[in-house]
Amino acid sequence: MLALLPGCGGPRADEGDVARLLDRRSAALLGKDERALLADVEPSATRLRARQRETLRNLSEVPLASLGYELTGTGGFPPAAGEGRRLAVRARLSYRLAGHDAGPATADRWLTLAERGGRWYLAAEEPAPDGPELLWEQGRVTAVRGPHSLVLGVGQPERRLTEVARTAGRAVPAVDAAWRGAWERRVVVLVPRSPAAMAALLGDPPGSYRGIAAVTTGRPGRSPGGPADRVIVNPDAYGVLGEAGRRMVLTHETTHVATRRHTTAATPLWLSEGFADWAAYRGADRPARQLAPTVTREIAAGRPPRALPRDAGFSFTGAPERLARAYEEGWLACAMIAERWGEARLFAFYRAVGAGERLGRSRAVTEALRSELGLSEAEFTDRWRAYAVERLG
């Protein structure tokens, strides 16, 4: 319990008062009830009231199944300026999309409450620092439904969202064939108006995803009913891809959705990203040299891979060549397992590594290599290096 919440130089607001305000706000947003929503907004806050009306318009096509605020604390940031007594509140907003989310998507929020005549009203709401914006805060949302997907876009023509839904519809069966495990078999894709808006949805600086076609949110090791995944598309980078490239991007990202509950802190990025690329390329009628051009050039220059890529190599802020090499090397490792030991063994290895979280990453990988492939890490690395030269040299 948070007990009593002190206002700034004024009355003390009982936790129940604040919780009830947040509950009323949740119900109004879920029901898209303008009158109820504005009843709890500071009467003199003209701009905020206009933004609340705009929020409801933006939400009109979003199929909300639930929405709620959980009070998580007070203070820690200055309340918004204004007359009267004010209170700073931290809360977590959770929502689920009807027909798609088994668990909630979440976003941490900062709210300012203002006391007027013995009653508390909303005076401001914004994302917490480094927290994500909500898609409907960026503009009016257009929803397009596919057989296995829900695509929500802002500032995008409906024909582009329809194309994304069609491509996602092809990605889901492809992932289902590649993973062959229990998962939701549906995907939610967000298409914001710009790369900067994409970064805001992820709580990152504006230039963080320049050149990255899409990313997937979600918490590793998610249990059934855990936080929902979202595939977030960079409209610029995705838009310049051809049909095959778009299909591979969405298949890769959908693979992360499918494997989420078996991906834990023990899973190195070379395995999670390499497996997602393997699933995306599986069955592709393209030579290995086209799928791994960076490593192909390195081998031709006499610089074959030496060690499996570390997580740092997958940073979007690093050199593009380093990032490309890390992805290609991860794909080669997973392709080798599937080719030499069989696809079923690749799935078993992936699950075994994720299940070893309590052991720590190094031991989890080492034990999974021994139990599933019968190799030490050094032996696996040697075989992977030889495989890369054999396929690409």
Which residues in the chain come in under a pLDDT of 70? 1-13, 76-84, 219-227
pLDDT at 111: 94
pLDDT at 17: 85
pLDDT at 226: 57
DSSP codes of every residue in 50-108: HHHHHHHHHTTT--EEEEEEEEEEE-SSPPPP-SS-EEEEEEEEEEEETTT-SS-EEEE
- The answer to whether 127 and 109 are in contact (CB under 8 A) is yes
**Residue 41 has what DSSP assignment?**
B
pLDDT digits (tens, 9 = 90+) for 331-383: 999 999 999 999 999 999 999 999 999 998 999 999 999 999 999 999 999 99
Residue with tokens 């206009």: 50
pLDDT at 11: 46
Closest CA to 168 of 84, 255, 89, 55: 255
Domains and CATH numbers, the chain: 4-131 (3.10.450.100), 134-262 (3.30.2010.30), 263-393 (1.10.390)
In whole angstroms, give the CA distance from residue 323 to residue 327. 6
pLDDT at 224: 54
pLDDT at 7: 45
pLDDT at 84: 67
Beta strand 187-191 with 149-154: parallel, antiparallel or unpaired?
parallel
